[in-house]
Amino acid sequence: MNTLRTVIIEDEAMYRLLMLSTLRKVKNLVVIGEFELGKPGLEFCLREKPDLAVIDLVLPDIYGLEIAAEIRRAVPEMHILILTAHPSERLPAELIALGVDGYVDKTEPISYVLNAIETIRHGGMFFASHVPVKGRPPPSSAGRHPIEVSLTEREKQVAQLVAAGRISKEIASTLNLSLRTVEKHRENIMQKVGVHEVASLTRWCIQAGLVEG
C-alpha cells in the first residue's frame, strides 16, 4: 500500500495535537504538514499535492468548504475529509455535491476519524454525525430531476441511507432488515441506476431528489 501523505488544517490546538498523535500510529500514513489557519494550509496543499487533506469546517480566516472547493478544482485527485463541531442536516449533501470524500462530527470518538481515513483511502465515502438523516423532500422541490429509474419504496429508503454514508450494517438495523437483504437491495439499486460506486449513487440520489443537494 502506498504511503498516504496527509495534511491537517485545524485551528483547535488540542484537537490538532490529538489528530497528530493518532495519525502517527496509522500504518502507511505520514503527516507532511499541519496548519492552524486555512489559507497557508490551502497554499501548501496546492503546492505539495498531498494524498489527503483533513480540514476543519470552521477556521479563523477561511471557511473549510472554500478550501475544499479550491482543492477539488485544482487537484481533483486529492482526497478530502472534513471535520466539524457544527453538523447540520444539509451538510452531508453539500459536501457530497462538492466532491468531498467524507466528514466526521468532532464529538464522535477519534476512532471515527481513523475509520474515515481507511474507508477513503480504499475509494469509499464516510459520513459520521449525530444529526439524523433527513427524510425525502417533496417531489416538487426546485432544481430536481425526475426519477427515471424505477425503484421500490424499500430500495429508495436504502438508497437514501447509502447516500447519507450509512454502512450496510447500520442500514439493516435502521430498517429492521437482515444484512443479506440490505446487500441485495444495494446490488439491485446499483444495477438499476447504472453505477458501480457509492459516490456516483449519491450524486444520482441528489439529482433525483432522494436527498437534499
What percent helix, strand, coil does the chain show, rounded to 5? 45, 15, 40
In this prediction, residue 1 carries a pLDDT of 66
The pLDDT, as a whole number, for residue 148 is: 45
Asked whether 208 and 156 are in contact (CB, 8 A), the reply is no
* CA-atom Rg of the chain in angstroms: 18
3-state SS, 103-139, equals: EEECCCCCHHHHHHHHHHHCCCCEEECCCCCCCCCCC
Note the pLDDT tens digit of each residue in 99-114: 888 888 888 888 889 8
Domains of the chain: 4-128 (3.40.50.2300), 153-208 (1.10.10.10)
156: how many CB neighbours lie within 10 A of its CB?
A: 17
CB 54, CB 19: distance < 8 Å: yes
Residue 9 CA to residue 208 CA, distance in Å, equals 34
For the stretch 30-87, pLDDT in tens is 999 999 999 999 999 999 999 999 999 989 999 998 999 999 999 999 999 999 887 7
